Amino acid sequence: MEAGFSPPGFSIRAATSPARRRSDTLMNAATAPPLLSLNHVTVMRGERAALHDITLQIGSGEHVCILGPNGCGKSTLIKTITRECYPLASEGSSISILGKERWNIFELRSLLGIVSPDLLASCTTDATGRDVVLSGFFSSTRIFPHHEPNPDLLAHSNAALARLGISHLADRSVAHMSSGEAKRTLIARALVHDPQTLLFDEPSNALDIAAQMRLRETMRELAQSGLGILLVTHHVSEIIPEIERVVLLRDGKIVADGSKEKMLTATHLTDLFNTKVQIARHDGYYHLY
């Protein structure tokens, strides 16, 4: 860790035990407004309802996976949360995030750390790791001349890189990073505001096996540090042991919602993916075959 770039509490693992951190998180969550509250939400993409009559509540600090096949509405749900898509206005329909229905977009994005393929794709190849992390303060994907980041922002960006163990990527361009390195840089970007929740969208895309394993370990450490984790994926193997609840999404509708043990069964997943599967569990992870 670089001297001068380690604000108090700015490490993946806090000094307290995982059990104590989880207890503190649950106590805070009990009084905090829910992260997300959707009531009878329908979102159109062109002429098609990408989400249809969705009712869903996710508590503050909760670890949840939204699981479903490609085309089921996962991306639209993410864009609805980040206010890139808006639901149809209808009687009885509402959406609130952290207890508020109206948000300044920049303020909202500072409270939700987002790691998505869309962000990675929009990063220019000449941007350095530090540029990408700093861009989180400006809701962009690179630093432009008018941004002029001050020393405090630079310190926080360096601390976020150090938190992920990637200080060596600060001056390396995205074009010369592996997919795993670029993904970890995006996680550092998501951490600069010290958000309440991290939203991971298909995080293992384009990663080799070693990078996937490192990513899952990082996600586990972040979850154990007290951050809420919202994972959106079609890969059952991405669901880290700390995730306790799984929501099954198909054809724009929630088809089941409950504890991980009850949702991740051969019956549920055969129906969800429309193909016969079996499921096994090992060391807290689930695998389809």
Please report, as a single letter, which amino acid is at residue 113.
Answer: G
Q: Give pLDDT, residue 289.
A: 96
Residue (of 289, 132, 112) closest to 197 by Cα position: 112
For position 124, what pLDDT does the model report?
A: 66
What is the model's pTM?
0.85
Strand order in the sheet with 245-250: 112-115, 197-201, 228-233, 63-67, 245-250, 253-259
Distance in angstroms (rounded) separating the CA atoms of residues 74 and 85 = 12
Does residue 240 contact residue 229 with C-beta atoms inside 8 Å?
A: yes
| 3 pLDDT tier (thresholds 50, 70, 90) | very low
pLDDT at 260 over 90: yes
Classified by CATH at the fold level, domain 18-288 comes out as: Rossmann fold (3.40.50)
Contact 162, 6 (CB under 8 A): yes
Q: How far apart are CA 58 and CA 214, in angstroms?
A: 27
Confidence of residue 4 (pLDDT cuts 50, 70, 90): very low
What number is the average pLDDT over the span 98-125? 80
Q: Which pLDDT belongs to residue 147? A: 78
- At residue 28, the pLDDT reads 56
Write down the pLDDT at residue 9. Answer: 38
pLDDT at 45 over 60: yes
More confident position, 109 or 214: 214
Percentage of the chain exceeding pLDDT 70: 88
Q: Which residues pair with 35 in a beta bridge?
A: none
Tell me what pLDDT residue 167 has.
96
Measured distance CA(289)–CA(287) in Å, rounded: 7
